[in-house]
Chains A and B, each alone.
Chain A
Amino acid sequence: MSVALRRLLLAVVGLVFLLPIVAMVEFTLRSPSGSGYGLDHWAAILDPERERSYRNLFEGVANSLTLAVVTAALVLVLLVPTMVLVSLRYPRLMRVLEFVCIVPITVPAIVLVVGLAPVYGVVVRVAGGGTWTLALAYGVTVLPFAFRALQTDLSASNLATLTEAARTLGASWPRVMTTVIVPTLRRGILAAAFITVAVVLGEYTIASLLNRVNLQTALVQVSRSDPYAAVIFALLALLFAFTLLLLIGRVGTARSRGVLPASPGSVSPASGAAASPAPVAPAPTSKAVR
């Protein structure tokens, strides 16, 4: 049927879905006096005098970034060698591995947290109560996403031939890993890392019920005293996650051309948010991407 009708439908649904985001932007631009608009709330975040009231929020951001990096490292270190080994030596176990990695979708986080509470009693005794320990639980929640990202790349590459060639030429397994396997799977690894970061930055359930502080629990807490700051940070976090996922899409389509995208996506959805002073989001973007 007509292309115009389908485009019209997309435009209507798109506008409706844009409304809450526009409302968020509008909310942050309301001036404190109660009428008119201004950048006061955005400026307040940079104001050193008010830094103390946002300390919680900045701690949450820092914790979430730490967790994102540690979780990504943990998942990649555990999952990549396992998936490569299974696909090369035990192809029949692939279905088992897939099943294990999909289980966290079936078990809601709110259920998992019931069992994680006693496990964390042990973890805290053994490894201390550091922020990073939460990454052990997050690794499980990102397994389905990371597995799918790596699996797509793994099944599309002829890793068996490449590793055999390298082995025939006398390369040791560590050398094969660093010079053949990791470069071959770089798109899958990058996609898995990005999606892990996006999941970890959005996680609330486990952190809040284990009484940890991360970005989302800090947002909920701050929203009670200063809803403007909470909404500003929520917008920035959404924008950051969107950028990460857009990059994953680009990495995926870049496959055919055989190159990695050189710069982050130029399209930004909420231009209002992107143009405003954004102390936190741009820094992690450049840190995580480059």
Chain B
Amino acid sequence: MSSATLIDETAPATTRSAGAVPARSRMRLPAWLGLTPFAAYVLAFLAVPCLLALSSGFFDADGAVTLENLTVLGEPAVRSAFLASFAVSGVTAVVGAVVGAAVCWGLTALRPDGPVRSVIDSVSSVLAQFGGVMLAFAFITTIGIQGLFTRLLLDTFGIDIFAGGVWLYQVPGLLLPYIYFQVPLMVITFMPAVAGLKPQWSEAVATLGGTWWNHLVSVVVPVLAPSFLGCLLLLFANAFSSYATAAALISQGAQIVPLQIRAALVSETVLGRANVAGALALGMVVVMAVLMVLYSALQRRTERWQR
């Protein structure tokens, strides 16, 4: 595939230099040639995989075009996986956004360039973006069967959090670990908007005789609303697409969409299930695309207040 592009991109260059053979000695390489290594790399490892992932759902095992794989999206197991994914993403996005927004408000009490702020920023980045498997471990040691918190509750108060069955390795068990990385992501993405609130606005409200409640309702909420909703969508997309934490916690079954893709990839060889992963991937990308279009629309409204 990448060799095909090389031919495409060098084609105009060869024709041009062929026409200007006498002048060749003083001709320099055109500057845009410098863009080709990056272009070729992105084509081979981003564009091609994306196209393959999205198109493979339309082919059967023999390479013939078919729509049969897409019917998998209507299967009860897949439908309930999508519903579970939506539920987990929705709940953790709302909780993460509310708690994260509160933390942002708290952060305005700290000096923006102080040491505490830089520690909080770094911790937020680590937890929001690089935790994955390790966050699953963190929650197994906290609220697992032998977890610190589980034993503490049982020994001290006689409360058994798993009295109704061990839910940590099921879909409900995803909620706490997901919130644990959603709140830091909210802090990272929502903080610029909160920091953009100008003290002059609250002074203006005060000068006009308004209370802090007036300031909140008629300045803070309207200014922050688009950004808040945008971040909410981003959090939803983040939870919807995350795989590592769920894969480390849930080793049996495929209760959410990313785990359905895992199951489909692992059983790719099973007869009649080829390219089902492609159909599932297509379903996921459609959801992500809708979320991202809405997000960028909201982001444009947000930037109005951040100049």
Contact = CB atoms under 8 A, between A and B. Distances in A.
B134 A114 contact: no
Contacts of A118: 52, 56
A26 B130 contact: no
A169 interface: no
B137 A114 contact: no
A74 B53 CA distance: 24
Contacts of B46: 100, 103-104, 140, 143
B98 to A, nearest CB: 12
Chain B contact residues, majority secondary structure: helix
A201 interface: yes
Contacts, number: 233
B289 A106 contact: yes
Given A13-B99, A106-B288, A115 B139 contact: no
Contacts of A250: 118
Chain A contact residues, majority secondary structure: helix
Contact of A209 (B131, B140, B265): B265
B232 interface: no
Interface stretch (B60-68, B102-110, B154-162, B167-175): B102-110
Interface stretch (A48-56, A156-164, A233-241, A272-280): A233-241
A31 interface: no
Interface residues of A, number: 80
A14 B124 CA distance: 11
B134 A237 contact: yes
B141 A108 contact: no
B149 A23 contact: yes
B34 A85 contact: yes
Contact of B141 (A23, A199, A203, A220): A23
Contacts of A86: 35
A110 B241 contact: yes
Contact of A107 (B127, B258, B285): B285
B138 A21 contact: yes
A234 B134 CA distance: 5
Interface string B162-185: 000000000000000000100100
A114 B278 contact: yes
A107 B122 CA distance: 25
A238 B44 CA distance: 32
Contact of B108 (A6, A89, A220, A253): A6
B196 interface: no
Given A23-B148, A100-B46, A253-B113, A230 B105 contact: no
Contacts of A132: none
B247 interface: yes
A139 B40 CA distance: 13
Given A3-B109, A9-B106, A246-B119, A108 B265 contact: no
A167 to B, nearest CB: 13
Contact of B42 (A1, A140, A204): A140
B192 interface: no
Contacts of B285: 106-107, 111
Given A112-B53, A115-B51, A13 B106 contact: yes
B137 A219 contact: yes
A245 B106 CA distance: 22
Interface string B251-284: 0000000100110010000000000011001001
Contacts of B247: 204-205, 208, 220
22 contacts: A6-B105, A9-B105, A20-B141, A24-B138, A85-B34, A90-B32, A109-B243, A110-B258, A115-B49, A117-B265, A198-B125, A201-B130, A204-B132, A204-B247, A204-B248, A205-B243, A216-B132, A223-B137, A231-B141, A241-B126, A245-B122, A245-B126
Interface of A: 1, 3, 6-7, 9-10, 13-14, 17, 19-24, 26-27, 78-79, 81-82, 85-86, 89-90, 93, 100, 103-104, 106-119, 122, 136-137, 139-140, 143, 145, 198-199, 201-205, 208-209, 216, 219-220, 223, 227, 230-231, 234-235, 237-238, 241-242, 245-246, 248-250, 253, 267, 269
